[in-house]
Structure 1
């Protein structure tokens, strides 16, 4: 038996958070092309009278539900903050102020100040970019395969790096030899057609990760905070992207935080908001 449901219907994935009869938090997801199956999941639980909804495709999902339900809509940014707060508490992380970078199809960046938040920036570079650009350049369309190949690849034959620019000369601070001077820059210098799939996929992950991290770091500096919380299902099962983000954040003297179940922040927030409203 399901006691409560919260759903984040995003552009690429629809995340579901629900409480079972044993009061356990259960998390699952479906591609947002399968909204009919998500609606069927809701319809299959007549004992649940109210459902928390957030995300850009929430209304599309609601229209597919055939049983009588009360839907509690939660603003996406509010749901995300509530979910992050829940996960921080669950992991015993005491944090009042931070930048929250939510990597979905694109990327949205928020400033968290205790229990308040505001959206401070965003970019169209995100998980959709990682998947789309990888597929176009390599013909690999499966996300898990992209991730596995990227772990086997190296960007050093494709990216132009600071070390390549200085070629053995002393590199002035604050530059670092492993920093990127130009993403895909070596291709323009030495045009070839024999680049390995795994190297291309590793390089795409680097490009996406660096753009997201650079924006996050600039905002952390602007708001004078040290911690950046990176969330989103794009980070799940892609160690290369996660490593790029973590390493670059540390190089720039900020603290990267990756929460368990961070891809479900919106769904968890919608669930908690709905349960709070139900108790009032």
Structure 2
């Protein structure tokens, strides 16, 4: 496997000395493996919260008077679960498995424990032990999804945004008014979680029509080999060729009495009933577009109805199904807007696909694991005394590419 093609090189500086990898976490799902790790490239001691480092970063108050400032990067990577050996090779080549060893990543210590979540943490635990000598310390999947979402919403400046009419608008989240909210995680399937606070949540609904449905049906209908290929194909398609619209039924007219425009989809794939065509007569791009629209509409509608059921004002959408894809976000947004009659908006997350992996990473602190006691992640720029919680410095365009890094600083104590 060519690591360069993954977008991440083994951690090293220009002089050839490696950064120290300080912990890794995994989310092994039915379709994708998500991996997060932090690499240090600088560390220094800070005596107390009055002695701030040169970038004027904010320290979080606690009972400790001495902190260690670790500067480095959060790294993100993903792999197809069906190609788990690529993930194992990536971990081995980058020596990430040593990050879980006791005594600060000492490779001579064979007790390597890595936080992991998702069904694959159970399914592939023996494989990680056999191939890499890693013991997967399993965290509950729902716990990690919620912990990862809460972490990001408190940590990352401009993490949440709306996407309406092709325009992305970032929102400033008031930490005192964050809860309750509905978290819709779109992976292979879809979970809808009512979040009432830190570690306070309930899975209230879900659907088996999710990212796995899109990919699975897409492979059967279009012969696309990867999710990305299928998603890219949808850019070029026209779903009106296959979907039956209200106008198709009413001779081009709206159904104004009940508020349905002529362009509203009456039946996904409905035209295939009467077109007297075979599968090969349809363009793969049109099929992909119609399939994406059907699944996104369905998820948006069910999500809003659950938010309405519990009186929730905010609906955050995460998971690798979205992938920052404009058409997907627009379709979900339109569905939420339509069913709420404009009273609700769909909210998206920049780091949408890594909620579970980040939640597993944060759990190192919860368990007082090894030397990583995260107190704060900070911007590489000044922050005010009114800011609280974690801070991460990331790309400014609001998108996180596959297998890339975020520069940040971590305070440990």
Q: Cα deviations across residues 128-163 of structure 1 (Å, max 9, x unaligned)?
A: 111111121122223222222211111112111223
Query: Contact 2:27–2:35 (CA<8 Å) still a contact in 1?
Result: yes
Query: Contact 2:144–2:356 (CA<8 Å) still a contact in 1?
Result: yes
Q: Does 1:247 pair with 2:330?
A: no
Q: Does 1:12 pair with 2:12?
A: no
Q: Cα deviations across residues 84-125 of structure 1 (Å, max 9, x unaligned)?
A: 111112134232122111111111111112221111112211
User: Match of 2:294?
Assistant: 207
Query: Following superposition of structure 1 onto structure 2, how do residues 238-277 of structure 1 map, counting pairs within 5 Å?
Result: 238-253=325-340, 254-277=344-367
Q: Does 1:81 pair with 2:146?
A: yes
**Alignment partners' CA distance in 1, 2:229 and 2:180:** 37
Q: Does 1:142 pair with 2:207?
A: no
**Alignment partners' CA distance in 1, 2:83 and 2:258:** 51
The TM-score, its normalising length taken from structure 2, stands at: 0.63
How many correspondences in the alignment?
Answer: 280
Query: Contact 1:39–1:62 (CA<8 Å) still a contact in 2?
Result: no
Query: Following superposition of structure 1 onto structure 2, how do residues 175-254 of structure 1 map, counting pairs within 5 Å?
Result: 175-193=260-278, 194-236=281-323, 238-253=325-340, 254=344
Query: Contact 2:24–2:114 (CA<8 Å) still a contact in 1?
Result: yes
TM-aligned CA distance change 1:146 to 1:237, over 3 Å: farther
**Alignment partners' CA distance in 2, 1:40 and 1:170:** 57
- Residue 42 (structure 1) shift: 5.0
TM-aligned CA distance change 1:169 to 1:48, over 3 Å: closer
- Residue 256 (structure 1) shift: 0.7
Query: Contact 1:42–1:65 (CA<8 Å) still a contact in 2?
Result: no
Moved more, 9-18 or 175-184: 175-184
Query: Contact 2:254–2:262 (CA<8 Å) still a contact in 1?
Result: no
**Alignment partners' CA distance in 1, 2:272 and 2:134:** 55
Query: Contact 1:51–1:271 (CA<8 Å) still a contact in 2?
Result: no
Question: Which structure's CA Rg is the greater one?
Answer: 2
Q: RMSD value over aligned CA atoms?
A: 2.2
Query: Following superposition of structure 1 onto structure 2, how do residues 158-177 of structure 1 map, counting pairs within 5 Å?
Result: 158-167=242-251, 168=253, 171-177=256-262
The TM-score, its normalising length taken from structure 1, stands at: 0.91
**Alignment partners' CA distance in 2, 1:123 and 1:30:** 24
Q: Cα deviations across residues 210-260 of structure 1 (Å, max 9, x unaligned)?
A: 221221111011011132111111111643323211221122232111101
Query: Contact 1:7–1:270 (CA<8 Å) still a contact in 2?
Result: yes
**Alignment partners' CA distance in 1, 2:351 and 2:265:** 30
Unpaired runs of 5+ in structure 2? 1-19, 41-70, 102-112, 160-171, 374-412
User: Match of 1:125?
Assistant: 209
